[in-house]
Structure 1
Amino acid sequence: MRRFVVFGVLLLAWAQNVSAQELFSVFDTVHVDEVVSYGKLRKYQSGAKIESISASQFSLAQDGNLEQLLSRTLPVAFKTNAGGLATIRIRGSAPDHTSLNFGGININSLTLGHSNVSNVPVYLFDNVGVQFGSASSVNGSGSIGGAIHLGLQNNWTKGVKAEARIANGSFGEQLYGTKISLGNGKFESVTRAYYYTKTNNFPFLNPQKDFETQQIGIQDTQQNAAIENRGLLQEFNYRFATNEHFIFNVWIENDWHQVQQNMAVNYFNPQLQEVYDDEHIRIWTGYKNRKKPFKYEINGGYVFDNAVSNKNTSDTISTQRIIGEAFVEHDFLPNASYKAGAKATRIYPTVYAYSETLEHETRVDLYASYYHRFFNKLTATINLRQGFVTDFEVPFTPSLGVNYLALSKEKYVLKFSGNIARSYRVPTFNDRFWVPGGNPDLNPEKGMNCEIGSKWSYCTGNKSGNVKLNAFLMKVDDWILWKNGGSFWYAENVQKVESKGLELMTDWNYNMVKGWVVNWGLNLTYTVAERIESLNETNALNRQMEYVPKTSATAFFSASYKDLALVVDQSYSGEQFTDEENKNILDAYSLTNLAVSYNWKINTQHRIKINAMVNNLFDEDYQASWGYAMPGISYRLGLSYHFK
């Protein structure tokens, strides 16, 4: 913690010399990058907090997964072990409360309700956007706490571009990847493939007691926690005209890992092995016509998810989805537009523990959005969404948001924003249909999110920066838990949860003398997430929720000169409860990482990039999931070759 405070104080002290530029004054323009297939949804979400990962930070994370990227760049809580499993908790919500979106597909498991974000490779995507707070009115079920969007960029390649990537690191870590783009300016084929493996046999200090020597704290090595993932993402894009194109994308993924055992089992039963295998096929295709004043899209998708535990293929856990979506958008005034559409999904679950009467489920969503700009100062948006699910009642979810330009001067701009939104989550198939314990009469989880924010942007000469402050309040009713019924566990709506807090985000950029460029940022969040009502007898009422630190932070500093770059980043996570008892509490910890990269431009057609990274630079001994070991200091060396 001390290292983090010193780092932050030094950065803040240095920032007193910062200033900014006029370019921030273009408040009334809605910037929507039409060539991004998936990603930002800003226009109809005034007042919503949506953050994009910077290009430099995204580039450094190419060899890792989504959890590693977000935990190093945003103050977001994760429950994670040494690489095999990670779940996200935005603003104190549950893992089931964040949707993870690829095009029009929420890739969260329909049986479990969430995604293992350590299985999402950064290498396959071009950008990542994160929405904090309710996004159900735009994304549908499962976006109570927030939404993550995995983005692809259509570059309309002319000729051939190719990349080969290799990375090797500590504890048997290896990554091999390739990206190949072919096109003639109208047609484009982009192939992205990767293979990742890690033995994960890292040393650690095991707090177990040696009964022969009576010593507490034993040097141990993690056993049976290997990871092997591979994936292919194929894009076919055709551009009829500047604002009219067709996309067809296929993402095939196979994720295998040995289930990491806790430290006690690792020491007393080191031979124990459990394996988990995930298979996914995700297809998203669509025709997009963005010509004014009427714009429309027609999209479709197919998803196949299959999970196998301990090679037991007879206990089938798989689902298939067929998705159709269409919408129209009309700019009927220079300062006003609306959007209306519908989305339908047919789901076919095949799960050994479900009732045989469950053959399929149909979900339909109708939605409408309205955008209006007033006097070049105020923008307001309204979103309305009504879902329909087979034999299930879904609540109506509206949202209202505003952005207001308070000041616009030569050197700085001050904006205020506000948003209020309802949200919901349809219980998972396991919650409703698992035999025994599933309850088809469960209510949907219902949320209400309110937030206000401000953004101060400053720019002058060679210096620029932003300071963003947000305050939020989120309430969730009918939170679903599985209760111990004696002979079996069962699902029930048992509690109400309230989460509130503050988020501060800063980023500053300097173009220094003699070609040096310096960037730094500091993000802080304070979250109080508590059960305020519960049908269960619990010691955790009016106490912080499990695996949600009250205080978390991230900071980064980068300096580059021509083709050479140095980056230091640090993350801090406060104390965390891990169960409903006031014990087994995770200590606060901070992690520091260092990276150096060199971009060698051989000529206009050939380029080689070399990067070296040291993770957990100070060899911090910590846990991110109670009882599970985490690796100490480690390295990764990467090399990529680019051909154009």
Structure 2
Amino acid sequence: MKQNCFHIILAFFLCTLSTYAQLDSIQQLPEVLLTDSKFVHFSKGFKLEKLNDSIIERNATSLTETLRYNSSIYFKENGSGMVSSPSFRGTNAAQTAVIWNGININSVFTGQTDFNTISPLNYDEISIRSGGGGVQYGSGAVGGSIHLNNTFTFEKIDTTQITINHGSFSTIGGNASTTQAWGDHYLNVGVDFISSENDYNYIEKNQKNKHGEFLRFAAKVNEARRLKNGIATWNSEYTYNDRNFSGSLNTIGKDKYKDLSTRNLWQLHQTFGAFDAKASVAHLFEQYRYFPDSEKQLYDEGRANTFIGFFQSEVLLQKKFRINGKVEYSYINAEGDNVGENSRKTLATVLLLNHKVSDDFSYGLNFRKEFLNDFDNPFLFSADAKWKVSKNYALRLNGSKNYRIPTFNDLYWYAGGNHNLQPETSYQVELGQEFWFGKLKADLAAYFISSEDLIKWIPGNGGIWEPVNITKTRNYGVEVTFDYSIKLLNQHTLGFTANYSYTNAEDLEKEKQLIYVPFHKAAGTIQYNYKTLMVYFQGLYNGEAYTTTDNSSAVKGYKVFNLGTEFTIPSNPQITFGIRLKNMFNVYYENVAYRPMPSRNIQLFLKFNI
């Protein structure tokens, strides 16, 4: 993959270019601000999970790995590093919205995000919002949404972090990020890359994962400037992926896929008395090239430009009523060898309300109406409430109507696209309970989702596949999360986090469980800390998942365990090194039928805080 040398050399250069500075003996954590403020203010009755830095770093190979081990989301992955799509509460990949600083970044071609193309280290905060979010975040936020946020502050900061890692299967990677805040300015710049031959052995199969090489390179710039009565921000991101697609137990991989994306968001936030106003402009670009044969230069290509502009105003009345009104316009222009050239114009109006009745009870009402140039969109609404019954117990409730717009592939694919498709619609309700007992935190959620007009590709006349609105599904289940920590002796701490989910996702037409939706999934981590030493033991269980619509075939359930440790040098606390042992018991497992996942492997890393 010689053409990728530029990205590797640039990343290594930025990772090794550094100057040394002494850290203060005591560092104060600055107040940070979130670009997507409505995520906090208008989600009181929804289940929100925030992944902290240490959780992200120990599963940082890709966003797939981060969420697989630290959430109830199931991932269908065509081998390590290959295409990865989520199932959030039993919904499909296009029904899970990925939100970057408040902007929906799902592909206009496929309607989904490949989670293996995203580096979790590019963001200051990764959060999971369970339940319908169509009112706030538009198409695809049916089962839930994943939020990738960059924060900023104007308290003085001068930090640089560099991490270099090396692992099995000729895997190398690095990450460098510097953050500077002075006066009325904030600047964060970073790069991240990973490259791997990915040639792991298939356990007990006498075969090897061939043609699975991949490279990912990403760069970011986040800037903020404080103005008189306001703030101006700029978020920018560049991502490049080059992957050979590996084969399966029965096939030899030949094809290849390259994709590139850029994202830019400019926002101006001003305060006028009791009113906050924000004007935003965004540009998203995505491009892909699919090579049927990686040894040849013949490929299918597609590219899309998305322009988004919106204005929102928010007012807080008597410190109880928070009202947010938003008008958003987006224009998409896309062209591809398989979909032709098409465009989409959307005007959306959104009204959000949160009423804090007391310190213990609040509720919210939200509404959205969209106007498109190619078909009608449903009127959306949601309602939520949270009641803190006591200091140890709280109840929350939410319900919503959500939708998913047909993608450009659904509508315009040259060999079967259907111009008459209607948006998918769904209704969702959730009841959640939160518990606190000392250092123990627990959350129990039960949900129900009813969807109709689901888009399904079926064989048509002449054997050509085409999408139609036919499928109705019913999803229900429970999710449980635990978080507990205890101080054993002086400077000894032990922490435990775990999550479990039961998911029933039924195709009502066939009366069968949907494919690649396991009934049971669980994950947990035990972490021990002593002074500058940290050791963790991590486990994942995925139950059996059907691979055919008649439920006649399935991938078996499996258990995978990881072990890791890191040590900060006492005499030089700016340096940390560690080791991670993944799939430590060398378990054979598959997420997709006939596509084995990696055997036992090891990763070494060295981190500098400057």
Alpha-carbon distance in 1 for matches of 2:205, 2:299: 40
Matched residue, 2:76: 79
Q: Return the offset for 1:616.
A: 0.7
User: What SS does the aligned partner of 2:152 have?
Assistant: coil
1:364 aligns with 2:351: no
Letter matched to residue 407 of structure 1: S
User: What SS does the aligned partner of 2:247 have?
Assistant: coil
Query: Residue deviations 1:58-103, cap 9 Å, x none?
Result: 23234x1111001111121110121122101100000000111112
The gaps in structure 2 that reach 5 residues or longer are: 1-30
Q: Return the offset for 1:493.
A: 0.5
Whether the 8 Å CA contact 1:421–1:449 is kept in 2: the answer is: yes
1:478 aligns with 2:438: no
User: What SS does the aligned partner of 2:476 have?
Assistant: strand
Whether the 8 Å CA contact 2:103–2:137 is kept in 1: the answer is: no
The gaps in structure 1 that reach 5 residues or longer are: 1-32, 206-216, 267-271, 534-540
Whether the 8 Å CA contact 1:554–1:569 is kept in 2: the answer is: yes
Q: Return the offset for 1:475.
A: 0.8
Matched residue, 2:374: 391
User: What SS does the aligned partner of 1:70 have?
Assistant: helix
Alpha-carbon distance in 1 for matches of 2:219, 2:154: 20
**Cα 1:575/1:641, change in 2 over 3 Å:** same
Matching residue within 490, 494, 519 for 2:470: 494
Cα RMSD of the aligned pairs, angstroms, is 1.8
Matching residue within 410, 414, 417 for 1:438: 417
TM-score normalized by structure 2? 0.91
User: What SS does the aligned partner of 1:361 have?
Assistant: strand
Whether the 8 Å CA contact 2:430–2:446 is kept in 1: the answer is: yes
Whether the 8 Å CA contact 1:338–1:370 is kept in 2: the answer is: yes
Letter matched to residue 457 of structure 1: W
Matching residue within 512, 523, 528 for 1:554: 523
Whether the 8 Å CA contact 1:39–1:152 is kept in 2: the answer is: no
Letter matched to residue 223 of structure 1: K
Letter matched to residue 474 of structure 1: I
Matched residue, 2:67: 70
Matched residue, 1:328: 313
Matched residue, 1:425: 404
Alpha-carbon distance in 2 for matches of 1:201, 1:155: 43
**Cα 1:391/1:159, change in 2 over 3 Å:** closer
Alpha-carbon distance in 2 for matches of 1:361, 1:154: 33
Whether the 8 Å CA contact 2:150–2:222 is kept in 1: the answer is: no
Letter matched to residue 235 of structure 1: N
Letter matched to residue 626 of structure 1: A
Letter matched to residue 422 of structure 1: K
1:342 aligns with 2:362: no
Matching residue within 230, 255, 263 for 2:249: 263
Alpha-carbon distance in 1 for matches of 2:313, 2:591: 45
Q: Return the offset for 1:515.
A: 1.1
Task: Report 1:120-269 matches (<5 A).
Answer: 120-156=118-154, 158=156, 160-205=158-203, 218-240=205-227, 244-266=230-252
Q: Return the offset for 1:298.
A: 1.1
Matched residue, 1:538: none
Whether the 8 Å CA contact 2:512–2:549 is kept in 1: the answer is: no
1:512 aligns with 2:502: no
Matched residue, 1:25: none
Whether the 8 Å CA contact 1:529–1:545 is kept in 2: the answer is: yes
1:592 aligns with 2:564: no
Alpha-carbon distance in 2 for matches of 1:43, 1:333: 16
Identical aligned residues as a percent: 21
Letter matched to residue 338 of structure 1: I
Query: Residue deviations 1:451-471, cap 9 Å, x none?
Result: 101101122xxxx11111110
Q: Return the offset for 1:48.
A: 1.1
The more displaced of 68-77 and 288-297 is 288-297
How many residues of Structure 1 are paired with residues of Structure 2 in the alignment? 574
Q: Return the offset for 1:287.
A: 1.3
**Cα 1:292/1:457, change in 2 over 3 Å:** farther
Alpha-carbon distance in 2 for matches of 1:168, 1:420: 46
Whether the 8 Å CA contact 1:257–1:275 is kept in 2: the answer is: yes
Q: Return the offset for 1:373.
A: 1.7
1:565 aligns with 2:534: yes
Query: Residue deviations 1:284-333, cap 9 Å, x none?
Result: 11112367621121111101100001176763311101111111110112
Alpha-carbon distance in 2 for matches of 1:616, 1:402: 41
1:608 aligns with 2:587: no
Query: Residue deviations 1:545-593, cap 9 Å, x none?
Result: 1010001111111111121111111111000001213333111101111
Task: Between the two structures, name the one with larger relative contact order (CA 8 Å, sep ≥ 6).
Answer: 1
Q: Return the offset for 1:637.
A: 0.6
Letter matched to residue 242 of structure 2: W
Query: Residue deviations 1:120-142, cap 9 Å, x none?
Result: 10121112101111110111111
Whether the 8 Å CA contact 1:200–1:222 is kept in 2: the answer is: yes
Whether the 8 Å CA contact 2:32–2:151 is kept in 1: the answer is: no
**Cα 1:195/1:46, change in 2 over 3 Å:** closer
The more displaced of 301-310 and 46-55 is 46-55
Alpha-carbon distance in 2 for matches of 1:279, 1:239: 32
Alpha-carbon distance in 2 for matches of 1:265, 1:334: 63
Whether the 8 Å CA contact 1:39–1:151 is kept in 2: the answer is: no
**Cα 1:361/1:601, change in 2 over 3 Å:** farther
Letter matched to residue 475 of structure 1: S
Matched residue, 2:338: 353
Whether the 8 Å CA contact 1:39–1:127 is kept in 2: the answer is: no
Whether the 8 Å CA contact 2:566–2:576 is kept in 1: the answer is: yes
Alpha-carbon distance in 1 for matches of 2:37, 2:108: 22
Matched residue, 1:279: 260
Q: Return the offset for 1:612.
A: 1.0
User: What SS does the aligned partner of 1:148 have?
Assistant: strand
Matched residue, 1:450: 429
Matched residue, 2:394: 415
User: What SS does the aligned partner of 2:551 have?
Assistant: coil
Alpha-carbon distance in 2 for matches of 1:179, 1:350: 35
Letter matched to residue 225 of structure 2: Y
Matched residue, 2:92: 94
Alpha-carbon distance in 2 for matches of 1:334, 1:303: 36
Alpha-carbon distance in 2 for matches of 1:107, 1:325: 16
Q: Return the offset for 1:517.
A: 1.6
Query: Residue deviations 1:492-541, cap 9 Å, x none?
Result: 011100000011111111123211121102211111000113xxxxxxx1
Q: Return the offset for 1:34.
A: 6.0
1:617 aligns with 2:584: yes
Whether the 8 Å CA contact 1:196–1:229 is kept in 2: the answer is: yes
TM-score normalized by structure 1? 0.86
1:503 aligns with 2:479: yes
Q: Return the offset for 1:405.
A: 1.6
1:295 aligns with 2:264: no
Whether the 8 Å CA contact 1:383–1:400 is kept in 2: the answer is: yes
Query: Residue deviations 1:215-248, cap 9 Å, x none?
Result: xx6411111000111111112221226x732111
Letter matched to residue 218 of structure 2: G
User: What SS does the aligned partner of 1:567 have?
Assistant: strand
Whether the 8 Å CA contact 2:276–2:314 is kept in 1: the answer is: yes
Whether the 8 Å CA contact 2:153–2:181 is kept in 1: the answer is: no
Q: Return the offset for 1:56.
A: 2.4
Letter matched to residue 511 of structure 1: K
